[in-house]
Amino acid sequence: MTAISALIDFSSRAEAGGPRLRQAFGVPRETLVAHTPEQVRPVLDAVQSQARQGRWCVGYLRYEAACAFDPALAVHEADGALAWFGVHDQALPWPEEIGEVAEPTLAWGPALARADFDGVLARLQEAIAAGEFYQVNYTSLLHGRIEAAPGADPRAQALALFAALRRAQPGGYSAFIDDGATQLLSVSPELFFEWQDGRLLARPMKGTAARGATPQEDAEAAAHLRGSAKERAENVMIVDLLRNDLSRIAEPFSVAVPRLFHAQALPTVWQMSSDVTARTRAGCTLADVFAALFPCGSVTGAPKVSAMRMIRALEAAPRGIYCGAAGVVRPGGDAVFNVPIRSVTLRDGRATCGIGSGITSGSQAEAEWQEWRHKRTFLERASAPFALLETMAMEDGFFRDSAGHLARLSAAAAHFGHPFPVETVARRLRRLRLDHPSGLWRVRLLLDAHGGVQAEAFPHAAAPPRVRLQLADRAFDASDSEFVRFKTTRRAHYDAFAPTREGIFDTLLWNARGEFTECTRGNIAFRIGGRWLTPPPACGLLAGIGRERFLREGRLAESVVRVEELPRVEALAFVNSLRGWVDAELDGRAP
């Protein structure tokens, strides 16, 4: 494979069926680098000159480059080049093989402590009440390291991780840029600006809501985001800031806002964005565009000068390329840059990733904290390989609930962006039936991120007539995770609750609201008032195939059951497709 220094996969302005800018770049013919604020504008001028000579320029600006355009924009001292661009004579086809190397595992250190987060939010709201600013985008950096096999090629590992990140956060504005010392792996959904034929489009992204666990909940989440006074106000503040920024380089009366409050569906969150457009004045340069807009107001707050001053006081380290800009200037001078949020930066095997949100007078600590959790879900997806999993019962050559299992596997593949080779799956299962025509078997069906299928059969004993469960000693804090709603090989959150005492079959879990959810290996049923009840998916659980069958048959009904209601429980049952319906009792208490 040709040595790759950069990959660009950006949405087009047309977006509705328009072609993506999807190119690779080899070793640059030269690099344009700014190490000091005084060098940033000359580098951008050189980039524009090279593009007008028919070359491609791919690179980034660190957030700390802001002081090159206005000394009043307070920043930390940068920990690398303020601006870096590789110059290329030509673009190369996209190398499909980058995703074929097994991706490495990323081990992340502890995140910002909740108490510290709450303290910062209180300080920010005091400053907002005092009139210092309207909004501040507060962020924190996560630090981690790559755990790769000895002798693994670092560049191949970086590319494989980039491929994993793109699967976790598809679409948008993806960029891989290797400057020789640092690798940027950006899967940002946010457009900073696109400048083409004198027309400038900025698309600030402000306003976030978690995706729903069901289609109905998802639609409700999107509607709530679009209608939220707090989220709309947060978005409008930044739109107004961008309108003002664009007016500095725009032809008179050309600044417009053709689209407000657009809710965009990302894999784990809904994001609200708005479009701000303008026609740039004659003689406007790339450096002028950056001077007017950089950093993007969505990652600073408003007003920008006072917000950045507070960011400098509260954030302990430079943001780096995170919250700066990364993109490409094409032959002729058209330019498109993302805001590198949802990005990982690698250096000597060490990784950083920034997470943040906009804080306003209406912000609530718990809601903002949960927003940070949801925003980092893309990172959790990509930080360790996993496969989609179905566990099926095969008895005398026939699969139990096969249609339900395959439908759930298909839905999980669509959610995570995994290929779903229907014929390959059918062929593997048919082979198992032929090889094991009699007896009871546990079938383990796996689908990996590349569409690879594995299917194995293991002898399985009949389910016991009754099992003993233990009650979890703490809340199950992963109950809102997509790795709970979908069945995968990522099971550390369940393994942490595995039974430790002899004779205990499984652990009964409950969430932070005190609601029962499921067991670690199946669903749970409670008989209360003569009716059999099972928690709904909104409580945070995997909707098991056996559970769904018993719901269809009318044997079960959905209802929230709280821990405090245990004295009312007349009987328990453990439920899954593999074992069916198994009577259960809770250790230390016999319903």
CATH number at residue 393: 3.30.470.10
Dump pLDDT digits (tens) for 425-479: 999 999 999 999 999 999 999 999 889 999 999 999 988 999 999 999 999 988 8
- Please say if the pLDDT value at position 142 is more than 70: yes
DSSP string for residues in 278-293: EEBPTT--HHHHHHHH
pLDDT band for position 47 (cuts 50, 70, 90): very high
Percent of residues, the chain, with pLDDT higher than 90: 76
Q: Are residues 355 and 397 in the same domain?
A: no
Q: Are residues 454 and 485 in the same domain?
A: no
Q: How far apart are CA 528 and CA 565, in angstroms?
A: 9
- Domain C-terminal end among 439, 459, 479: 459
Is residue 591 in some structural domain?
no
pLDDT average, residue stretch 537-548 = 94
Dump pLDDT digits (tens) for 33-44: 999 999 999 999
pLDDT band for position 591 (cuts 50, 70, 90): very low
Looking at residue 154, what is its pLDDT? 82
Whether a cis peptide bond, with omega within 30° of 0, leads into 303 is yes
What's the whole-number average pLDDT of the chain? 92
Q: Are residues 430 and 480 in the same domain?
A: no
pLDDT band for position 14 (cuts 50, 70, 90): very low
Looking at residue 99, what is its pLDDT? 56
Beta bridge partners of 347: 350
Q: How far apart are CA 122 and CA 317, in angstroms?
A: 20
Is residue 1 in some structural domain?
no
The interaxial angle of helices 545-552 and 402-416, nearest 10 deg, is 120
pLDDT average, residue stretch 121-125 = 95
Q: Are residues 46 and 109 in the same domain?
A: yes
Distances from the Cα of 580 to the Cα of 133, 525, 547, angstroms = 59, 12, 9
Q: How far apart are CA 76 and CA 316, in angstroms?
A: 9
Catalytic site residue from 64, 103, 194, 206: 206
Name the residue type at position 432: L
- Structural domains of the chain, count: 3
Q: Are residues 370 and 394 in the same domain?
A: no
Is residue 455 in some structural domain?
yes
Q: Are residues 58 and 192 in the same domain?
A: yes
pLDDT band for position 101 (cuts 50, 70, 90): low
Helix (H, G, I), strand (E, B) or coil at 234: helix
Which stretch of DSSP H or E encloses residue 434? helix 422-435
- Measure the CA dihedral 23/26/27/31, to 10°: -10
Q: For residue 14, is it left (φ>0), alpha (ψ between -120 and 50) or beta?
A: alpha
Distances from the Cα of 539 to the Cα of 267, 268, 559, 572, angstroms = 20, 17, 10, 18
Lowest mean pLDDT among 25-39, 208-222, 405-419, 551-565: 208-222
By DSSP bridging, strand 325-329 and strand 335-338 are antiparallel
- Please say if the pLDDT value at position 563 is more than 60: yes
Q: Are residues 77 and 37 in the same domain?
A: yes
pLDDT band for position 390 (cuts 50, 70, 90): very high
- Please say if the pLDDT value at position 150 is more than 80: no
Angle at 104 between CA 101 and CA 106, to 5 degrees: 155
Is residue 28 in some structural domain?
yes
Lowest mean pLDDT among 137-141, 219-223, 353-357, 528-532: 219-223
pLDDT band for position 244 (cuts 50, 70, 90): very high
Q: Are residues 118 and 266 in the same domain?
A: yes
Lowest mean pLDDT among 36-45, 79-88, 495-504: 495-504
Phi then psi for residue 149, to 5 deg, are -65, 145
- The gap between the terminal CA atoms of the chain, to the nearest Å, is 64
| Domain around 432 | 388-459
- Domain C-terminal end among 350, 382, 414: 382
- Domain C-terminal end among 358, 382, 406: 382
Looking at residue 221, what is its pLDDT? 85
Dump pLDDT digits (tens) for 197-229: 999 999 998 888 888 767 788 888 888 888 888
- Please say if the pLDDT value at position 19 is more than 90: no
- Please say if the pLDDT value at position 589 is more than 60: no
- CATH classification at residue 81: 3.60.120.10
Q: Are residues 63 and 33 in the same domain?
A: yes
Exposed / middle / buried, residue 36 (Cβ in 10 Å: 0-12, 13-18, 19+): exposed
What is the value of pTM for the model shown? 0.86
Q: Are residues 179 and 194 in the same domain?
A: yes
Is residue 92 in some structural domain?
yes
- CATH classification at residue 539: 3.20.10.10
Catalytic site residue from 64, 103, 190, 368: 190
190 part of the active site: yes
Q: How far apart are CA 31 and CA 303, in angstroms?
A: 35
206 part of the active site: yes
pLDDT band for position 16 (cuts 50, 70, 90): very low
Say which residue, 535 or 101, is predicted with more confidence: 535
